[in-house]
Each structure stands twice: as structure tokens, then as C-alpha cells.
A and B are shown apart, each in its own frame.
Chain A
Amino acid sequence: MKRKVQSEKRKVKAQSLKLLVLSFGFTVCVLSLTLICYASDIQLEVTVDRNKIALGEPLQLNLAFQGMQNVSAPSLDKIEGFDARYLGPSTMVSIVNGVVTSSITHIYTLVPLKTGTFTIGPFSIETQGRTLTSKPITIEVVSTSPAGQQPYSSGQALQEPSPAKIDTEGLKDRIFLILSAGKRKAYLNEIMPLTIKLYVNRLGVRDIQFPALETNDFSIDKFGQPKQSREEFGGVAYDVIEFTADMFGIKPGEFTLGPAKLKCNLVVRGQNQHRRSPLDGGFLGGLFKDDIFEDFFGRYEAYPLELKSTELPITVLSLPQEGKPGGFDGALGNFQLKAEASPLQVKAGDPITLKMTVTGEGNLDTVKPPKLQSKDAFKVYDPQVKQNETEKIFEQVLIPDSEKVTHIPQINFSFFNTQTGQYQVLTHNPIPITVARAEDAQTKLIELPQVQARPAQKEELGRDIIYLKNSIGRLRRLGCYLYQNLIFWLFQILSSILFMGIILIHLKRRKLITDTRYARRLRAQALAKKGIQEAGKLLREGKTGAFFDAVFKTMRVYLADRFHLPSGGITAITIEELAKEKGIASEVLDKIKMVFADCDMARYAPSQFGQKQLEDIFQGLKEIVDYLERQKI
């Protein structure tokens, strides 16, 4: 058990040791590589943040040592016309594609002591056994502030222009555009690079648009994605945005290209005072700082600016007639030709694809298909063309007519070499092929149905109108439509009426079920009518007792239903209250009371009532019902 644990420990120790050795080895390799890089690419670059300043205004001087970091700050005590002060170092290490680069920048502040033109440098600094020399930089010190800047005062550093003081002329040293072309003399249709660089020094710039160039003499491609870099120009460090595109002259002559125009927004402070460290980045630092923090408080403003470059004279030469080959189609550049065919063994009548690839540098748009020396014995179709940045591929279908064909003829491609200034003809040797007899193929297919042996040809069908109708079809009155038919509309109206009727009936039935007052009100008249008929019959039959019972019952039930009261609750008092409430006429009320009183009396002494009185009571009942039915109570 112990042995096992010990052996495990040994293993772990051995692995740790291996890792340590590997890590050390890797570190040594990286360091050695770094040293190699350092040793090979040591440079001194001296830049200032501007080359025209006002007296008393500070100037930033950067001494950048590319390829090393262990360089101490050189002493710059004696610079004519300036008081130099060392601010500190700034180091940078970067690894791009495995290449390690490092640099140290020693930053100084130079304060001019008098006006005039001074030259700073050249500086010669010895380090690691090598003497590094910089270029001299010329600085102009003027008495007033250039570009509207305030003179330097204690505690105040570099100034940005305020919106009220924007002066494009004054800013021309700090933001400008440079237009350049790959060549000043080019042949017609010859591709050359066009470069437009935006130089910015210590200014915040945003909303940079693509440059615009108006020309009728050159064809210019679209600009690609701009590249951003830092560049020294006239001893001043600038942030540079570079726009590139390909262009070519479309007619011979001497032309002036440009000026290129570029629109952007200059970010300027709303207030004049602005504290700023000399270590602040002029461009990107300004962008980030301005946009996120300063704009948040509304202290910065965007000022639209249109920059113009200088014009660029370019001569476009026409192609020389001398030495122009016969098959020249206008291709310009320096190209190579490759050709291959497949299949190499075919039957007569079968297609062969000839793939011709033109590669190289130049204007591929001017490249036309290479030419076959002879097209005899072949049926040749138009080629299919594919093009990318560096090559143009032509796929041409050739069909040999007979089995006698032994090769694809020589291919020629001529172009004008812009590098040598001469015409050049590329040839590709004939490509041997084997063509079998077409009959062989037919004999093989003889067992197949003849329809399959030959490709079906597209049948051309004749066209004409279709023959007459044999029957006259459904006859109808000329110009009479159903929507004009009266019966149709009657049918629609009747349907609607029927629908409305059903709806009304349904609603009434629902009301009768749900609304008891309404139902009793409707029932009251019918029952009263029935009761009156009954009473009349009994009166005629001379049944006095039964007559009074019928009258009393009819009267009570009618009044109860008519006014939605319980039948038993109909008394002289309730009737009186009801009459007041409903506004029943006093004569009618008296009649009602009289009828009820007569009915009460008749129960005890029915013989008191003569025929005339009975008829009056009956008439009174009818009048009461009639009155109450007519009244909207």
C-alpha cells in the first residue's frame, strides 16, 4: 500500500518537473525570439504633436524607441529656443501573428522661449551598442496663437477649437486630406491603386463619410473598409484613416483627378476651458471621451466639416500600335494562362469542357476569352465566365464533329504587359484527345427503344381557335340580370320579413316567460272578455246569484291582473289607493265601488235587484273594463 502511494508521489513529481522544464523552455524561446526581434528592428522615431505654435504654448515631443523597452530617457536640456521638461515614459508590447513588437516612448514638454523657426534634432542616441539617429523637425513659433488658440498660461494645456472659433483654414495643419495614386502615368484601362488619407492631429472627429471623387475620365471602384493607423507627417504624429480603391483611366489624355472631398463632423467643446493631460490620445481618446462622458453633459458639439484634397495630375497613355498582336482584345496587366480539358476520351458529338484560367495582376475586366487557333472540326459554344480577385476562368464546351479529331488546337491569349510596356502573347500547346466513332455509341444503344436512343425533339404544336359550340346553351333575356328581377327581390324581402317575424315572436314569448306583469296585463283583457260573456249569458238566463258571482270574479281577477296585484288583495281600500296612484277617474272608481257593493248585497238579498238594475251592473262592468283598457296606466 505504502509502495503504491510512494510510486504515485514519484509520478506526480516527475510530471511537475516535466511541466516546469517545458514552461522554462517555452519562456526561453519566447524571450530569445523577442530579443531577436528587438535586435533586428530597433528604430528611433521623433514626433511632435504640431509644428506651429504660439509663444508660451507647450509642445509635446515624443521620442519613440521601436523594438526595445530598456532605454532610459535621454537628457534634452539644450534645445535652442525651448525649455524642455521630461514628463514620463509610455511602453507598449504587442503580438501580431506571433510577431512580438515592443516600444517605449519618452514624452517631453517643450515650451518655446522666443518666436522664430527652430529645428529640433536630429537626435543621436546610443543604446545597446548602436547609434540611433532621428530626422530633424522644424517648429515655427509665432507670437499669436495659430488656429485661434489661446496663449499658454499656467495650468492650461492644449486647446481644442470652440464652435465660435471654427476656422477651416486655421485647422488645415491639424486635419487634412491627401489624394494619391499608384502611378502618375498609366495606360488606358490599367488598374492602379487610389489612396485617400485623412490626417487628424489632436482633434475629435466622428461621422466620417466615404470620400467622394467626381471624375468622367477615370473609373473608380468602391472604396473598401478604411484602415486606421498612426503616421508621422512632417515630424508631426497624425492619426490616419486610409481609404483605398482601384481605378483606371477610361480615355487617353492628361487629366486632373480630384479634388477628393470628405465629409465628417468635428467634435468641439462648447466651453473654451478644458484641462487635459499631455498623455491624452488626440484622436481615439478624444472620440471615446467626448462621446461617452462629455456629450453626456452636453459639453461637446459636432461641427460639420468638408475637407478637400489637392488635385492630382495623371496622364493616361493609349496603348501603342507597334507590336500589337492580331488576337489582342484589350487585356491589360501581367497574366498567366492555364488550360485543361475533360474528358480527354470522347465519342464524336459528345461535349468536351475546356477550362482556361487567366491569373495574374491587372484589369481582369478587360480579359476576354483566350482564342483557339482553329475551330475547324469542332462545334464551339460560348464560354461560361467566372471571375474573382486574382483569376478569370472560362469554361468552353467543344464538340468534336468526327473521330478524326486528335487534339484541341493551340490556345492563344495576348495582353499588354503594363510593367514592361509591351505586348505579350501566351500560348498553350494543343491538348491531345481521343475521339471514338459516333456509330459505336449507336450500336450499343441499338437494343434500347428508338425513342430513348435519340433525344426527343421539342414538338412544335400548331395553334388556332377551338371549334364552335354545337348547342346554344342556356338562353336568357338580353341584358337582364337576376339582381334586376322583381321576384328575386320579393323573395329576399319575404325572407327578411319572415326572419323579423320569427324574431319578434321569439322575443314576445321570452317576455311573457320572464315578465310576469306584462303577461298578466295581456291576460287580463282576455279573461275579462270571457268573464263578461259568461256574466251576459247568466243575465240572459236569469240566474241572478250566478250572475253576481261571475261579475264579482271577473271584476276582481281583471283588476288584479291589470295592476299586477294578488287576487285576494282586491278590496275597496286597495282600489281607492290604486285609483289615486294610477289616476283613475272618480266616476270609474265610483262605478267599481258600486259593482263590488252590489255584488256584496246580492249575496244576502239577491231578490232586491230587478232586471233593469242587473243590466246596469252588467253595463257598468263592461264600461269599467273598457275604460281601463283604453287608459295607459
Chain B
Amino acid sequence: MRTKFFLYTLCTMLYACGVGYAQQGAVGDVRSSFYRANLLYEQGSYDEAIKQYSSILESGLESGNLYYNLGNCYFKKGESGRALLNYEKALRLITLDKDLESNYEYACSLIKGQAVISKNSLPLRVLNNLFEKFTIDGLTVLLSAFYMLFLVSILISLLFRPLKKHALILAVFMGLSFIVGFIGLRRKIALLNKEAIVTLEQADAKFEPMDKATTHFTLYEGMKVEVISSKDNWHKVRRQDNKSGWIEDSAIAIF
């Protein structure tokens, strides 16, 4: 029995080492592709650079900096919609990056049409602003920490009678923080693959998912929308002012 367990552990370790080595090798390729793409960008070959960056994504790896550089390539190419799409993706991974924030704002300022004002309710806006600077993983870790601290506080309150009052206050605080954080995380996760950027210069959102339907409103390149539902090649999208309409799949990129 013991021998079997030993053999199983050994096999697992070897497999893990093998995977690690293979990944290391893959990471090395990825890095060289990344630097190559940077060189192509400097030479003004934006299309080639995009290809190189995209090859990294195709290998199943991603990073905030990768999306940032890809966004820059599209921006220089004049495709502000695609640029914003990649900046948005980067924002999910490196929320605190100042360069990214600057480029994102600049790209947003170039969106045509009038700015659409968000009509979200105040609690929702507060919640969004509160967790805006957190990545999904960051928020997950934070929630885990809240949970652990909650458990520890409960234990302290039970095992150390003199600290019971303080520990219970801490437990309540941690519990509430956990609930609020959980709502924030749920919202972030709910938006995964539900947000989209308009990639065409101009796209009409229609009342019905068909070409002949009446246009409800017009979306311009770079505008961010939320995908509510989909039917065939059409997506029902909602603008920030809560107006919704059907738009063709080719007009947006969902992320």
C-alpha cells in the first residue's frame, strides 16, 4: 500500500515537473514573441506586431501588458474600437496602471457622438466605483482574506473570553465586508463575456433583430455596451443610459 502511494506521489511530481518545464519553455517562446512584436511596432509594422501579439494569446496565455501593447498597435492603426477593446481587457488585469488609464481615457475622448451618461442607480455606481480598481483575482483573494479573518475572529471570541467583544465586532465588520465584496465580485464575474465594444465606425441598434427593423439609436466605434441576449447573428445590447437595441455580431467585439 505504502509503496503504491510512494509511486503515485513520484509520478505526480514528475508530471508536475514536466509540465513546469514545458510551460517554462512556452513562456520563453512567448517572451521572444513579445519582444519581436515590440520591435515591429517601433518599425511601424503594426499589422505584423498585432499578429505577433495575437500569437501569444492563441497559445492560451494573456497578460495586462500584452493587451496594452496590442491596444496601442490598433490605436496607431486607426482602429480605436479594437484599441479600446484591448485596453478594456488590460483593465481587467492591470487596473492600477497609470499608462493604461491615460491611453484609455485618450482613446475614449476620440469616440464620436455625444457622451452617453450612465443611468445606473446610486448604490450600483458606488459599488462599481468601490471595486473598480480590483481585478477579479484580487477581489477573490480579498474575499478569502475577509472570510479567514471572519473565522479567526469567531475563534478568538470563543477561545479568548477577554477579547470576545472586540473579536465579535471584527467578525461583524469582516462579515459585512465579505458580503459587499461578494456582491462586487458577482457583478464583475457577471460582466465577463457580457461586455462589448463597437468595432465598426458606426452601427445602428435596431428595435428587432433584423436588417429591415427600425433603428433605435446609433452606436459609434469604441462605445461600450452590455450584451443582454443573443439570437443568431444578432446581439441585444444595452447602452449606459439603459437604452437597448439589437445589433449585428460583426459590429461589436464581446469580451
Tell yes or no: B19 within 8 A of A by CB: no
Tell yes or no: B27 within 8 A of A by CB: yes
Which of B66, B141, B148 is in CB contact (< 8 Å) with A495? B148
Which of A473, A481, A488, A492 is in CB contact (< 8 Å) with B66? A473
Determine the chain B residues whose CB is within 8 A of the CB of A499 once the complex forms: 151, 154-155
Q: By the criterion CB–CB under 8 Å, are A478 and B140 in contact?
A: no
Which of B41, B76, B106, B140 is in CB contact (< 8 Å) with A482? B140
Tell yes or no: B57 within 8 A of A by CB: yes
Determine the chain A residues whose CB is within 8 A of the CB of B27 once the complex forms: 475
Which of B62, B99, B102 is in CB contact (< 8 Å) with A476? B62
Determine the chain B residues whose CB is within 8 A of the CB of A386 once the complex forms: none
Tell yes or no: A472 within 8 A of B by CB: yes
* CA A475 to CA B38, docked complex, whole Å: 17
Listed stretches B67-75, B117-125, B232-240; interface member: B67-75
Determine the chain B residues whose CB is within 8 A of the CB of A496 once the complex forms: 151
Tell yes or no: A471 within 8 A of B by CB: yes
Determine the chain A residues whose CB is within 8 A of the CB of B140 once the complex forms: 481-483, 488
Most central of B31, B34, B93, B189 by chain A CB within 10 Å: B34
* CA A474 to CA B61, docked complex, whole Å: 10
Tell yes or no: B103 within 8 A of A by CB: yes
Determine the chain A residues whose CB is within 8 A of the CB of B189 once the complex forms: 481, 483
Tell yes or no: A33 within 8 A of B by CB: no
* Chain B 75-94 near chain A by CB (<8 Å), digits 1 or 0: 11000000000000000011
Q: By the criterion CB–CB under 8 Å, are B38 and A465 in contact?
A: no
The smallest beta-carbon distance between A293 and chain B, in angstroms, is 51
Q: A465-B72, A495-B148 are in contact. Are A478 and B38 (CB under 8 A)?
A: no
The smallest beta-carbon distance between B31 and chain A, in angstroms, is 6
Tell yes or no: A469 within 8 A of B by CB: yes
Q: By the criterion CB–CB under 8 Å, are B41 and A472 in contact?
A: no
Tell yes or no: B1 within 8 A of A by CB: no
Q: By the criterion CB–CB under 8 Å, are A468 and B38 in contact?
A: yes
Tell yes or no: A426 within 8 A of B by CB: no
Tell yes or no: A21 within 8 A of B by CB: no
Tell yes or no: B63 within 8 A of A by CB: yes
* CA A491 to CA B143, docked complex, whole Å: 13
The smallest beta-carbon distance between B84 and chain A, in angstroms, is 11
Q: By the criterion CB–CB under 8 Å, are A475 and B158 in contact?
A: no
Determine the chain A residues whose CB is within 8 A of the CB of B144 once the complex forms: 488, 491-492
Q: A481-B140, A506-B159 are in contact. Are A466 and B61 (CB under 8 A)?
A: no
Tell yes or no: B241 within 8 A of A by CB: no
Q: By the criterion CB–CB under 8 Å, are B62 and A478 in contact?
A: yes
Q: By the criterion CB–CB under 8 Å, are B66 and A466 in contact?
A: no
* Chain B 150-184 near chain A by CB (<8 Å), digits 1 or 0: 01001100110000000000000000000000000
Number of B residues contacting the other chain (C-beta, 8 Å)? 41
Q: A465-B75, A488-B144, A495-B148 are in contact. Are A481 and B136 (CB under 8 A)?
A: yes
* CA A499 to CA B149, docked complex, whole Å: 11
Tell yes or no: B247 within 8 A of A by CB: no
Determine the chain B residues whose CB is within 8 A of the CB of A491 once the complex forms: 144
The chain A residue sitting closest to B137, CB to CB, is A482
Tell yes or no: B30 within 8 A of A by CB: yes
Q: By the criterion CB–CB under 8 Å, are B151 and A495 in contact?
A: yes
The smallest beta-carbon distance between A467 and chain B, in angstroms, is 8
Most central of A469, A496, A503 by chain B CB within 10 Å: A469
Tell yes or no: A463 within 8 A of B by CB: yes
Tell yes or no: A514 within 8 A of B by CB: no
Interface residues of B in 188-229 (CB under 8 A from A): 189
Q: By the criterion CB–CB under 8 Å, are A469 and B65 in contact?
A: yes
Q: By the criterion CB–CB under 8 Å, are B61 and A476 in contact?
A: yes
* CA A471 to CA B103, docked complex, whole Å: 18
* Chain A 455-487 near chain B by CB (<8 Å), digits 1 or 0: 000000001111111111111111101110000
Q: By the criterion CB–CB under 8 Å, are A472 and B66 in contact?
A: yes
Which of A465, A475, A481, A506 is in CB contact (< 8 Å) with B137? A481
Q: A477-B61, A482-B141, A483-B136 are in contact. Are A464 and B106 (CB under 8 A)?
A: yes
Tell yes or no: A453 within 8 A of B by CB: no
Which of B61, B72, B185 is in CB contact (< 8 Å) with A468? B72
Tell yes or no: B60 within 8 A of A by CB: yes
Determine the chain B residues whose CB is within 8 A of the CB of A79 once the complex forms: none
The chain B residue sitting closest to A496, CB to CB, is B151
* CA A567 to CA B226, docked complex, whole Å: 78
* CA A472 to CA B151, docked complex, whole Å: 38
* CA A468 to CA B30, docked complex, whole Å: 16
Tell yes or no: A502 within 8 A of B by CB: yes
The chain B residue sitting closest to A476, CB to CB, is B62
The smallest beta-carbon distance between A553 and chain B, in angstroms, is 38
Q: By the criterion CB–CB under 8 Å, are B30 and A502 in contact?
A: no
* CA A476 to CA B38, docked complex, whole Å: 20
Determine the chain A residues whose CB is within 8 A of the CB of B137 once the complex forms: 481-483
Q: By the criterion CB–CB under 8 Å, are A468 and B148 in contact?
A: no
The chain B residue sitting closest to A500, CB to CB, is B151
The smallest beta-carbon distance between A468 and chain B, in angstroms, is 5
Determine the chain B residues whose CB is within 8 A of the CB of A474 once the complex forms: 63-64
Tell yes or no: B252 within 8 A of A by CB: no
* CA A467 to CA B100, docked complex, whole Å: 10
Ranked nearest first, the 7 interchain pairs of A and B with the lowest CB-CB distance are A473-B65, A469-B65, A466-B99, A473-B63, A482-B137, A482-B140, A465-B103
- Can you list 26 residue pairs at the A/B interface with Cβ under 8 Å? A465-B72, A465-B75, A465-B102, A465-B103, A465-B107, A468-B69, A468-B72, A470-B38, A472-B30, A472-B31, A472-B34, A472-B56, A473-B66, A474-B64, A476-B62, A476-B93, A477-B60, A478-B57, A478-B62, A481-B137, A483-B136, A491-B144, A496-B151, A499-B155, A502-B155, A506-B158
Given contacts A465-B107, A473-B94, A495-B151, 8 further A-B contacts (CB under 8 A): A466-B102, A469-B68, A472-B30, A474-B63, A496-B151, A499-B155, A503-B154, A503-B155
Name B's A-contacting residues (CB within 8 A): 27, 30-31, 34, 38, 41, 56-57, 60-66, 68-69, 72, 75-76, 93-94, 99, 102-103, 106-107, 136-137, 140-141, 144, 147-148, 151, 154-155, 158-159, 185, 189
